């Protein structure tokens, strides 16, 4: 969905790179924080909707399971009364509700995965927003210092000892930043793998429960 793509873009955003490219770093960081806050509100709304839909689907699943049980009781009553035709009709009705219950069970499982994905995106965006708020002043100050060093170098300090030290520090900073980006990408990959595995495990558990229900009913 477009919302999740926007959230993923914000989570992956490197604040330092954004400031390096911005003409007005202070304005840029404020805009980034505003964008994150807006997306955060939208994700919270989507999480609430997803959870509500999950509860509604679960209710529909339960209703169909109850109707299936009810029609199976009617089928048993018809059998007791030696009315096979009526028993067959009741069984067919019970089977139709069983199919609906199974369909709703799958929808509940899918909805649970979607809700969990939204919750994960929400947590990541909250962490990124907290980082942006906490580091905003520091990032702007760092950016100003970097610009000042660049201007000093352009003024003819490139051959001085201080300039060499400044160049070394900037090079060191670039290396550290590259390492941080690599670690962040690795962390996002691990999160993605864990989320996919968790989704598979949940889907598998739902299928097992469904199989047990069918077995108990002799379907």
Predicted confidence (pLDDT) per residue in 1-41, tens digit = 566 666 667 666 666 666 666 666 677 777 878 888 888 89
* Closest residue by Cα to residue 71 from 101, 102, 92: 92
Least confident of 45-59, 86-100, 141-155: 141-155
Say what the pLDDT of residue 127 is.
86
Higher-confidence residue: 30 or 110? 110
- Say whether 22 sits in a helix, a strand or coil: coil
Say what the pLDDT of residue 164 is.
47
* Closest residue by Cα to residue 125 from 18, 42, 187, 16: 42
Token readout for 109 is: 């499982």
Which residue in the block uniquely carries the two structure tokens 């509940």? 108
Beta strands in the chain (DSSP E): none
Whether pTM > 0.95 for this model: the answer is no
Least confident of 71-80, 82-91, 140-149: 140-149
State whether the Cα torsion 43-45-51-56 is positive or negative.
Answer: negative
By the 8 A CB rule, do 87 and 75 touch?
A: yes
CA 47, CA 172: separation in Å to the nearest integer? 42
Instruction: Give the number of domains in the chain.
Output: 1
By the 8 A CB rule, do 139 and 17 touch?
A: no
* Interval 155-181 mean pLDDT: 57
* Domain ranges, residue 213: 2-217
CA 135, CA 89: separation in Å to the nearest integer? 69
By the 8 A CB rule, do 106 and 60 touch?
A: no
Half-sphere exposure in the Cβ direction for 81 (13 Å, CA)? 11
């Amino acid at each position: 969905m477009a919302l999740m793509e926007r959230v993923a873009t914000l989570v992956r955003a490197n604040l330092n790179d954004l400031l390096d490219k911005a003409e007005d770093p202070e304005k840029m960081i404020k805009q980034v924080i505003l964008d994150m806050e807006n997306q955060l509100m939208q994700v919270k709304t989507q999480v609430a909707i997803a959870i509500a839909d999950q509860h509604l689907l679960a209710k529909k699943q339960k209703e169909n399971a109850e109707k299936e049980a009810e029609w199976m009781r009617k089928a048993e009553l018809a059998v007791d009364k030696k009315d096979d035709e009526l028993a067959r009709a009741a069984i067919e009705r019970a089977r139709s509700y069983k199919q609906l219950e199974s369909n709703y069970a799958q929808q509940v499982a899918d909805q649970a995965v979607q809700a969990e994905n939204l919750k994960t995106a929400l947590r990541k965006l909250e962490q990124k927003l907290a980082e942006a708020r906490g580091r905003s002043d520091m990032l702007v100050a760092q950016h100003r210092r970097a610009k000042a060093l660049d201007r000093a170098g352009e003024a003819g300090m490139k051959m001085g000892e201080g300039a060499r030290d400044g160049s070394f520090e900037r090079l060191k900073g670039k290396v550290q930043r590259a390492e941080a980006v690599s670690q962040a990408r690795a962390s996002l990959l691990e999160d993605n793998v864990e989320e996919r595995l968790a989704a598979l495990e949940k889907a598998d558990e739902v299928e097992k429960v469904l199989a047990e229900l069918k077995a108990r009913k002799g379907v």
